[in-house]
Amino acid sequence: MVRLILVLGDQLTDTVAALREGDPATDIVVMAEVSEEAGYVPHHPKKIAFCFAAMRHFADELRGAGWQVDYTALDADAPVASIAEALIAASERHGTTEAVATRPGEWRLIAALDELPLSVTVLEDDRFVASHAEFDAWAEGRKELRMEWFYREMRRKTGLLMDGDKPVEGKWNFDHDNRKPAPGEVDFSGPMRFTPDDITEAVLSLVADRFGENFGELQPFWFAVTRAEARRALAHFIKGGLPKFGDYQDAMLVDERFLWHSILSMYLNAGLLDPIEICEAAEAAYREGHAPINAVEGFIRQIIGWREYMRGIYFREGPDYVRRNVLGHDRKLPDFFWTGETGMRCISQAVAQTRDEAYAHHIQRLMVTGNFALLAGIDPFEVHEWYLAVYADAYEWVEAPNVIGMSQFADGGIVGSKPYVSSGNYIDRMSNYCGECAYSVKTKLGEGACPFNLLYWHFLNRHRDRFAKNPRMANMYRTWDRMDEGRRAQILEEASAYLDTLG
Q: Does 154 bind ligand SF4 (CB under 6 A)?
A: no
Among 74, 450, 476, 491, indicate the residue that binds ligand SF4 (CB under 6 A): 450
Rounded-to-integer distance, Cα 145 and Cα 406, Å: 12
Choices 37-45, 237-245, 322-330, 370-378; region in contact with ligand DLZ by CB under 6 A: 37-45
Among 27, 37, 85, 250, indicate the residue that binds ligand DLZ (CB under 6 A): 37
Kindly tell me which of 301 and 365 has the beta carbon lying closer to ligand SF4: 365
Q: Does 154 bind ligand DLZ (CB under 6 A)?
A: no
Kindly tell me which of 368 and 400 has the beta carbon lying closer to ligand DLZ: 400
- Pairing verdict, β 119-123 and 98-102: parallel
Choices 130-138, 398-406, 444-452, 466-474; region in contact with ligand FAD by CB under 6 A: 398-406
Among 47, 244, 345, 463, indicate the residue that binds ligand SF4 (CB under 6 A): 345
**Using a CB cutoff of 8 Å and minimum separation of 24, what contacts does 156-165 make?**
157/129, 157/130, 158/129, 158/276, 158/279, 158/304, 160/279, 160/280, 160/283, 160/300, 160/304, 161/283, 161/286, 161/293, 161/296, 161/297, 161/300
Residue 433 contact partner, candidates ligand DLZ, ligand SF4, ligand FAD, none, CB within 5 to 8 A by sort of partner: ligand SF4
Among 161, 441, 455, 473, indicate the residue that binds ligand SF4 (CB under 6 A): 441
CB of 74 vs ligand SF4, minimal distance in Å? 39
Choices 33-41, 143-151, 245-253, 425-433; region in contact with ligand DLZ by CB under 6 A: 33-41
Secondary structure of the chain: what % helix, strand, coil (to 5)?
55, 5, 40
Among candidates 306, 305, 285, which has minimal Cα distance to 296?
Answer: 285
Choices 86-94, 128-136, 325-333, 393-401; region in contact with ligand FAD by CB under 6 A: 393-401
Among candidates 198, 215, 191, 228, which has minimal Cα distance to 48?
Answer: 215
Residues 267-286 that bind ligand FAD (CB under 6 A): 268-269
Among 16, 17, 29, 38, indicate the residue that binds ligand DLZ (CB under 6 A): 38
CB of 454 vs ligand SF4, minimal distance in Å? 10
CA angle (407, 417, 466) in 5-degree steps: 90
Q: Does 238 bind ligand DLZ (CB under 6 A)?
A: no
SS (H, E, C) 404-467: HHHHCCCCCCCCCCCCCCCCHHHHHHHECCHHHCCCECCCCCCCCECHHHHHHHHHHHHCHHHH
Rounded-to-integer distance, Cα 214 and Cα 271, Å: 25
The helices-and-strands tally (H runs, E runs) of the chain is: 25, 7
Q: Does 459 bind ligand SF4 (CB under 6 A)?
A: no
Choices 109-117, 347-355, 392-400, 478-486; region in contact with ligand FAD by CB under 6 A: 392-400
Residues 280-339 that bind ligand FAD (CB under 6 A): 299, 302-303, 306-307, 310
